[in-house]
Amino acid sequence: MRILFRVVSVVSLLLVVEGCLWKPEAFYGQNISQEVEFLSPSKENLPRSCDQTSIRALKQMVWVPNESPDALRSRQKMEGQWLHFRLHNELKIPSEFSILIQWINIPKAEICSENQKGEIGDTYSGYTWETWLGLLSPFPHFKVSLAADETRDFYLYLDSKETINFPIRTISSSSYRFVVLFRFLTFLFFLMMAVVSFGWAISEFIKSKEIVYLSILAHYLLFFLLVYSVHGKELASIFGNENNLIRHSYYLFLSINHLVFFLYLYSFVIFTNETLEYPKLFWMFAFSGFLYLVVPFVPRVYEYRIFILLLIFGSAGYFLRNTHLSLFTNQNKEERKYFFSWALFLFLVFLKTLFHFDFYPYQPFFIYGSVFYLPFLTAGSFLFLRNYEKRDGTKTRFRSISNKINTVEYRTKLESLLESEKLYLNQNCNEEMIANRLGLTYHQLSELVNVEYHFNFPTLLNIYRIKEAKRLLVEEPESNVAEVGKKAGFGSRSAFYLEFKKQSGINPNQFRKSPSHHPNP
């Protein structure tokens, strides 16, 4: 468990470093966000498509530079937005590449330009599939070809119903294929972790009957769907972009994830046999996450969405501390680390939500910190809960047999069974056979013998067998020693000799010849 927490700490540190130092140009191509301009607010009717007339109109309009160096940043506009940027091919040969928008929740994106010959080029990109197996939505991208030393103005129309806060890049064909492969492998990794977590949680639940394992599993799966709906495949690509709730499915998943987090807190209280303080207030704040759904529908609420965010995460933090307070009473470092590991995750999710609510510019750490931390948190939680069960004497799975059954009663039953039916005379007699007769499990019988006799089950059988062998050696002088050992239940003459010498201090022949071991006439 300590090793796992150290791994989590190292990964967390790497994520922080990655967030501060990562330069994705080599991976996603050159970031041209700082060179983009936004159309200044105007009372004129804006073009809605790319053609020669639209380009002439756009050339006459006023443009405002994008102030963020890392990403496009602009408030949402229901009528869509126009962007302008200029690209120059410094090479002495023609250059072919793609313009990539690093976001998937864009129902419509159209780019147009006018080349040196006055020809209009326009390209449309929306919810299309390019060997993605239907699992992931591609980034909108447009193929561009520039002649040697050519400079060209591009006009990009985005029909986005949410705040713009993502980069725009130029990328080669080979790099784009690598992006496709990387996203697909990342998706497979988290899907594989989901399968592992599912099997692990179900196994632990079956053994322990503790609902907390299932709540952590639900937490992982729902958070996986949350991330998938934003960075993998948006619901609008399946159900259409007309419904406002589907178009802003991120808020729906945020609400459900908040509720599932509170369900984990409640199951943890049950697991630790504590009492839930302020239950009405607890459940009220558990459902408060559905306030997220108001944000995309009510413009006035959207302006003050930070207060909803603080209310929801403030309540989550308060009840996380409240429900895990018992972990601090035993001064156990492992239990404290468990609490702080969940507190760290909550903080990382807070950063992620701040980014999606447009309070932070584009920063990989804010987006992916909680995502890559969650698998380690889930595995660490399963291990911690299992260890907690071992330390807690009230838990059924690891409770001592003396707390489960009447050991005196079952010892009497065991001795009665061995003495009346003499099952030990059977060479195939074993713990499983006796356990079935007593109505115990193999492990229960083993622990019963260890607790009551302070030795193991084979030793108990051999005690009865040697006792029987001594009787036969006296009462059947005509039987040789090997036959006596076989009748007493031993599988071989050597095993009989060794055990007899071990218990009696002499061998069977010496015992038979010694007058002191014979009954008085």
CA distance 250 to 229: 7
Per-residue confidence (pLDDT) for residue 515, from 0 to 100: 66
314 pLDDT more than 90? yes
The dihedral built from the CA positions of residue 141, 146, 151 and 153, taken in this order, carries a sign that is: negative
CA distance 337 to 274: 19
Lowest mean pLDDT among 22-26, 69-73, 261-265, 330-334: 22-26
Confidence of residue 223 (pLDDT cuts 50, 70, 90): very high
Which residues on adjacent β-strands are paired with residue 264?
none
SS3 of residue 310 by DSSP? helix
Query: Of 90, 98, 84, 99, which is closest to residue 147 (Cα–Cα)?
Result: 90
Confidence of residue 219 (pLDDT cuts 50, 70, 90): very high
Q: What is the DSSP string of 248-278?
A: THHHHHHHHHHHHHHHHHHHHHHHTT---SS
Q: Which two tokens stand for residue 277?
A: 């303080």
Query: Of 376, 389, 282, which is closest to residue 335 (Cα–Cα)?
Result: 389
Asked if 468 and 425 count as a contact pair (C-beta separation under 8 A), the reply is yes
Structural domain boundaries of the chain? 24-171, 181-389, 401-513
More confident residue, 137 or 393: 137
> Integer distance in angstroms from the first to the last C-alpha of the chain?
68
SS3 of residue 86 by DSSP? strand
What is the per-residue pLDDT across 476-508, written as a single tens digit (0 to 9) for each?
A: 888 888 888 888 888 888 888 888 888 888 888
Q: Which two tokens stand for residue 275?
A: 């009492």
Lowest mean pLDDT among 46-55, 243-252, 423-432: 46-55
311 pLDDT more than 70? yes
CA distance 199 to 373: 20
131 pLDDT more than 90? no
What is the per-residue pLDDT across 409-459, written as a single tens digit (0 to 9) for each?
A: 888 888 888 888 888 888 888 888 888 888 887 777 887 888 788 888 888
Give the Cβ contact number of residue 374 at 10 Å: 21
Q: By 3-state DSSP, what share of the chain in percent is helix, strand and coil, each rounded to 5?
A: 60, 10, 30
In the numeric block, the tokens 């009497």 are attached to: 412
Asked if 118 and 59 count as a contact pair (C-beta separation under 8 A), the reply is no
At 208, the amino acid letter reads S
215 pLDDT more than 50? yes
Per-residue confidence (pLDDT) for residue 424, from 0 to 100: 85
State the pairing for strand pair 81-88/168-171. unpaired
Residues 6+ apart with CB under 8 A from 2: 334
CA distance 467 to 475: 13
Residues 6+ apart with CB under 8 A from 108: 80, 124, 126, 157, 158, 159
Average pLDDT value over all residues in the chain: 84
CATH number of 401-513: 1.10.10.60
220 pLDDT more than 90? yes
Rounded to the nearest 5 degrees, what angle is found at the Cα of 47, between the Cα atoms of 57 and 241?
A: 160
Query: Can you tell me the mean pLDDT for 84-100?
Result: 90
How is the beta sheet containing 151-159 ordered, strand by strand?
63-65, 37-39, 81-88, 151-159, 108-114, 120-125
Asked if 449 and 455 count as a contact pair (C-beta separation under 8 A), the reply is yes
Query: Can you tell me the mean pLDDT for 49-70?
Result: 84
Q: What is the DSSP string of 188-239?
A: HHHHHHHHHHHHHHHHHHHHH--THHHHHHHHHHHHHHHHIIIII--THHHH
In the numeric block, the tokens 């908040």 are attached to: 258
- Rounded to two decimals, the pTM is 0.72
**Does CATH place domain 24-171 in 3.20.20.140?**
no
CA distance 330 to 383: 19
Q: What is the distance of C-alpha 230 from the center of its chain?
A: 17
Asked if 70 and 31 count as a contact pair (C-beta separation under 8 A), the reply is yes
Query: Can you tell me the mean pLDDT for 363-389?
Result: 91
Residues 6+ apart with CB under 8 A from 347: none
